[in-house]
């Protein structure tokens, strides 16, 4: 009994894997077509159920017609259940990342995630490079401004030193001129005094010559 159940489970698993492989290999149009078929089966199932209930609701219902509609309903319901189970099983394995045996979904998913990580890393590297370029440009501009400021200060200091030296030279030259002027004034005054003395002696001699003797 256990062997039989295990055999049935293995067969069911193998069957589901084959169905999943078929669903995975289907292109998008085929998948849409499969969903359309399921929708048609659901509509047929509802129609069969409605006709069966309508037949049973008649005063003189036909048992054969009711049985036919009931069998059609059960057949459509079984088909819908089977197809929906296949779709749900496939979507469950795809959405949870648990691929069936023989599926290439896991490898494709890993490759896709790796590609996304590479793209994200490239984007981050690009952002870091742009930030680095901005900071480097700002640092160069700041260094240039500092150099210009230092050069301006040095030039101002040089101009101030040159002005101070020129002022000292002018002061030294002005002191020499004043000393020479004072010496010249002294010499002129001495000469004037000597001339005045000589003139006074001459006048006295002349006056003395004209006076009567004692």
- 2-101 CATH choice from 1.10.10, 2.60.40, 1.10.287, 3.30.420: 1.10.287
Task: State the pLDDT at residue 3.
Answer: 47
What is the pLDDT confidence band of residue 31, given thresholds at 50, 70 and 90?
confident
Task: State the pLDDT at residue 81.
Answer: 87
Model pTM?
0.34
Task: State the pLDDT at residue 214.
Answer: 43
Nearest to 64 by CA among 51, 75, 76, 77: 51
> Structural domain boundaries of the chain?
2-101, 112-161
Neighbouring C-beta atoms of residue 100, cutoff 10 Å: 20
Per residue in 35-58, pLDDT (tens digit) is 888 888 888 888 888 888 888 888
Nearest to 109 by CA among 96, 119, 122: 96
* Count of alpha carbons within 13 angstroms of residue 207, beta-carbon side: 6
Q: Using CA atoms, how far apart are residues 88 and 99, in angstroms rounded to an integer? A: 13
The residues near 105 (Cβ < 8 Å, ≥ 6 apart) are 24, 93, 94, 99
Cα dihedral across residues 65, 71, 76, 80: positive or negative:
positive
- Helices (H), strands (E): how many in the chain? 4, 0
Neighbouring C-beta atoms of residue 27, cutoff 10 Å: 8
């Amino acid at each position: 009994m256990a062997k039989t159940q295990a055999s049935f489970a293995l067969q069911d698993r193998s069957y589901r894997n084959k169905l999943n492989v078929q669903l995975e290999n289907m292109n998008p149009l085929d998948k849409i077509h499969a969903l359309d078929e399921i929708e048609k089966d659901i509509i047929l199932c509802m129609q069969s159920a409605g006709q069966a209930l309508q037949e049973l609701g008649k005063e003189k219902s036909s048992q054969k017609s009711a049985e036919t509609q009931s069998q059609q309903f059960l057949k459509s319901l079984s088909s819908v259940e089977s197809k929906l189970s296949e779709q749900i099983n496939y979507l469950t394995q795809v959405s949870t990342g648990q691929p069936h045996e023989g599926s290439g979904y896991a490898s494709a998913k890993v490759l896709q995630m790796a590609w996304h990580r590479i793209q994200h890393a490239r984007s981050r590297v690009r952002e870091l490079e742009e930030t680095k370029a901005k900071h480097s440009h700002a640092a160069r501009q700041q260094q240039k401004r500092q150099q210009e400021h230092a050069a301006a200060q040095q030039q101002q200091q040089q101009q101030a030193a040159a002005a101070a030296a020129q002022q000292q030279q002018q002061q030294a030259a002005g002191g020499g001129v004043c000393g020479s002027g004072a010496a010249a004034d002294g010499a002129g005054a001495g000469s004037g005094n000597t001339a005045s003395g000589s003139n006074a002696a001459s006048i006295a001699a002349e006056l003395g010559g004209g006076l009567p003797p004692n």
